[in-house]
Structure 1
Amino acid sequence: MDPEDFFNSRPTGWLGEHWAWALDVPLLEELRRGPLTDRTDLEVGLALTRLLHEDFTAYGTGGGERMNNDSVVVAIKAHRAVLERLGLEPPRLPFRNFSSFYDYWRRQGMSGGGGWAARRECMEGLFGPSRDVLEEIEEAEYEAQFRKSTTGRFKNLIFAAVGPKPKIVLRDAVNNDVEIVENAENCLVFDHQLPPNGLTWSQMVTWWAELHQVPAVGIDSAHQLYARLFASLDSGPEQILFRTYCSRYGHAQGPDTPALIPQVYLHSDPYTRRTPGHTPTLPRQRMDFLLLTPDRSRIVIEVDGIHHYADSQRNASPRLYAEMVAEDRRLRLSGYDIYRFGGHEFTQPDITAKLDTFFDELLLRHKRPGT
């Protein structure tokens, strides 16, 4: 959350060449009564601390503060309430607004030569400790996300196979190196280092451009990558889900949205399935979609057709269902989040709206802490 989020801005002037800042007083009053529904007190408290620090510093130096003498009082009260809910002691300000701050710095000898530097130092002394504590808490919560994340280390993604599926073997059991020994040309392999904030569409486009030695700028590479990923989807519901996600986030939300990666191989079990008398040990070799989000979550999205719960005669199969939920449990214990859609949902007229709402809420939940 940024300090600007506490304002409503609007263009002013004959040609709209200037912007006027108006503090969102109802929002600040709501914060005095209790936490917001879509923001944590931690991120609100940090943004409010920065706002007060910046505006009082601006008022005491070159000007350019965004609040006025009355609205800054509301911000101070909201700031105090938020920090108290967090169990922190709010700064003890020896003034209540800009006017009394002016009187204060004159009494304290912070006028004349060196006054600006003295007033900056004063603001750092008042708001800096709260900011530092909040940033430490934020970083601790961010690191806690990592400790609760998936087991194992990301090495590569094998995905988007078109045609015969790849045959994968473990080439080096010590280093956990895998090799595709057959049909490698039918799939894609992302082997770049995974960035700390997940895997975004822009990073995928950069990888694609390097792979094919084409420019990463512009839209051609992005369109080529989209077409290649879409070609790996052979069911109508999967195509609807992929198209809806990319349409909603590919342009309007910018390139830093997590990439929706289709047909990702979890593992390969090419032998036990063909050996008479052996039960397959790895029921699910491939997930429908994977998101690697900014909070380092690995999110699996599955679109369940009838083959997930019925046999070839379209009769309900308790065995198939049991295999599916057992594999879900294994993945969850490994740290994956799993979300399922039933194929029937994609026959309904409201499916696009339902997908939009789902992805909006999902990405909000899995954003990087503090953003």
Structure 2
Amino acid sequence: MLDLYEFFSSGDHWAEPWVLDVELIESLRFGPLADRTDLEVAIALTKLLYEDFVSYGTDGHGRRLNDENVLPVIKAHGGVLERLALEGPQWPFRTFDGPHGFGTYWRKNGMSGGGGWQMRRDCVEAILGPTRDALEELEELEYESRFKKGPAGSFKNLIFAAAGPKPEIVLRDAVNNDVEIVRNAENCLVYSDSLPPHGLTWRQMITWWTKNHHPDADEKTAADSLYRRLYRSLDSLPEQLLLRTYCARYAAEPGGFEIPALIPQVYLHYDPYTRRSGKQSGALYRQRMDFLLLAPDRSRIVIEVDGIQHYGRENPPDEKGRVTYTASPQLYSEMVAEDRRLRLAGYEIYRFGGWELTTPGGEQLLEHFFTDLLARHRKPTL
């Protein structure tokens, strides 16, 4: 593991005492470093805090931090963990000495006298151990991802579930790749929180929904409100059946809120030029995905429900007003070409014909499919 102790020091490691670079530490609260990942920094900060508090609680030797700079390190640690979508430790103390220090805490909680060293070690372990374990698990997943072909790039945001006129999107900041919805933003939802290491679950979606759209609601009420909002974005009966069938799992099964969220009508890309001209570009054939799952194994799973318009062109009504379609090799070719592009980009794609979901066995077909899909993409065991 990369040793970042020297990186956090503003002194010469060989010629001068170790001195914390406070300016660098405080910068971590506002964003990642240019030449180190947040995961690397979080692991190093966790180790630094762990070893210093254990040292203070035992022999007192080898400590690098003091009462003046330990709090900035704790705050930086929390900020980096938040960007990694990990829950930070709950600190019952924030310094070494003084009324709010570790020393005062252990004396008030019976960690003095015989066996005190081990009790104080156990105390630090209880505070920082879960964070260390979560970071090690995330580090292992990062290592495994090097050998698994997944989507290129990192998660930025989701624009989804448009109900009404579709959003118009511009690239507001080309340097940071920031997009902005300049028209009809009120008709769609935008998720821009950090993506947790193990995908995006219903519980995380409900937490986001509560915070941004339904404050003061309890979890069950917020979940029902989110489901109804997502359902409104779907126009076709087969798509509605698919969402209902999947959501019945998290509504009824124990632990159902921990399964991946099924996100409808997700914008994959946006081309204002083709919108203005009324033409489709072969490179941007599919602007939206019908459904997206961000699975625990970090797979991005696309589910498409194909109506006849995906592979046939509508004919003029006949003398009785009946509408028929003619199979279009061009439409079919455009659809499968986009599938190839997404697969090469690391997405996993599953297609349903709209017709098969309107048959009497459509719901059962979906139940079996989701059972197999979630089993295949469950959280990795380490």
TM, length-normalised to structure 2: 0.58
Q: CA deviation at 1:270?
A: 2.1
Q: Do 1:170 and 1:177's aligned partners in 2 also have CA atoms closer than 8 Å?
A: yes
> Which residue of the partner structure matches residue 257 of structure 2?
255
Tell whether the 8 Å contact from 2:138 to 2:197 is kept in structure 1 after alignment.
no
Tell me the secondary structure at the aligned position of residue 345 of structure 1: coil
AA aligned to 1:165 is K
Q: Quote the residue 2:277 is aligned against.
A: 275
Does residue 1:207 correspond to 2:218, yes or no?
no
CA distance in 1, matches of 2:138, 2:206: 31
Q: State the one-letter code of the partner of 1:257.
A: I
Letter paired with 2:348:
D
User: How do 1:150-161 and structure 2 match up within 5 A?
Assistant: 150-161=151-162
Change (3 A) 1:277 1:190: closer
1:144 shift after superposition: 2.1
TM-score for both structures, normalised by structure 1: 0.60
What is the match of residue 340 of structure 1? 351
The residue that corresponds to 2:304 in the other structure is 302
Alpha-carbon offset, residue 141 of structure 1: 7.1
Contact 1:159-1:262 at 8 Å conserved across structures? yes
Q: Give % identity.
A: 62
What residue number does 1:143 align with?
Answer: 143
Cα separation, 2, equivalents of 1:358 and 1:145: 25
| In structure 2, distance between residues paired with 1:342 and 1:315 | 17
The one-letter code of the counterpart of 2:180 is E
Write out per-residue CA displacement over residues 100-121 of structure 1, whole angstroms, 9 at most, x where no aligned residue. xxxxxxxxxxxxxxxxxxxxxx
157 and 141 in structure 1: CA distance in 2 versus 1, 3 angstrom threshold: closer
CA contact (8 A) 2:158 2:190 kept: yes
Secondary structure of residue in 2 paired with 1:215 = coil
**Unaligned 5+ residue runs, structure 1?**
1-135
1:269-316, CA deviations, whole angstroms, 9 ceiling, x for partnerless residues?
121243388845411000000000100000000000001000122111
Q: Partner of 1:241 in structure 2?
A: 242
Asked if structure 1 preserves the Cα contact closer than 8 Å seen for 2:158 and 2:191, the reply is yes
Q: Give 1:218 deviation, angstroms.
A: 3.5
Alignment of 1:55-74 (within 5 A): none
1:324 alignment counterpart = 335
Counterpart position of 1:164: 165
Task: Report the CA distance shift for 1:223/1:138 in structure 2 as closer, same or farther (over 3 A).
Answer: closer
Distance in 2 (alpha carbons) for counterparts of 1:276 and 1:348: 35
Q: How many residues align?
A: 236
Equivalence for 1:369: 380
Contact kept in structure 2, 1:272 and 1:280, CA below 8 Å: no
Contact 1:159 1:263 in 2 (8 A): yes
Show CA shifts across 1:232-253 (max 9, x none).
Answer: 0000000000000001233314
State the AA in 2 paired with 1:344.
Answer: W
Aligned partner of 1:173: which letter? A
- How big is each residue's C-alpha offset from its partner over 1:60-106, in whole Å with a ceiling of 9 and x where there is no partner? xxxxxxxxxxxxxxxxxxxxxxxxxxxxxxxxxxxxxxxxxxxxxxx
Quick one: which amino acid aligns to residue 248 of structure 2? S
Structure 2: how far apart are the matches of 1:216 and 1:336?
35
In structure 2, distance between residues paired with 1:233 and 1:145: 34
Q: Deviations over 1:47-71 (max 9, x none)?
A: xxxxxxxxxxxxxxxxxxxxxxxxx
**8 Å Cα contact 1:287/1:300 also seen in 2:** yes
Q: Distance in 2 between matches of 1:308 and 1:294?
A: 30
| Aligned partner letter, 2:239 | E
Question: How far off is 1:166 after superposition?
Answer: 0.3
CA-CA distance at 1:214 after TM superposition: 1.5
Confirm or deny that 1:219 pairs with 2:220: yes
In structure 1, C-alpha distance between the alignment counterparts of 2:281 and 2:292, rounded to whole Å: 27
- The SS at the match of 2:277 is coil
C-alpha separation between the residues in 1 aligned to 2:197 and 2:266? 20
Q: Relative to 1, partners in 2 of residues 1:285 and 1:276: Cα closer, same or farther, differing over 3 Å?
A: closer
Kept after mapping to 1: 8 A contact 2:169/2:183:
yes
SS in 2 for 1:326: helix
| 1:13-92 equivalence runs, <5 A | none
The alpha carbon displacement at 1:353 in A equals 1.3
* Structure 2 CA distance for partners of 1:240 and 1:172, relative to 1, 3 Å: same
CA distance in 1: counterparts of 2:363 and 2:233, whole angstroms: 21
Alignment CA distance shift 1:272-1:213 (3 Å): closer
The 3 A distance-change label for structure 1 pair 273 and 212 is: closer
- Given the alignment, which residue of 290, 293, 296 partners 2:295? 293
Report the Cα distance in structure 1 between the residues aligned to 2:183 and 2:222, rounded to whole angstroms.
Answer: 27
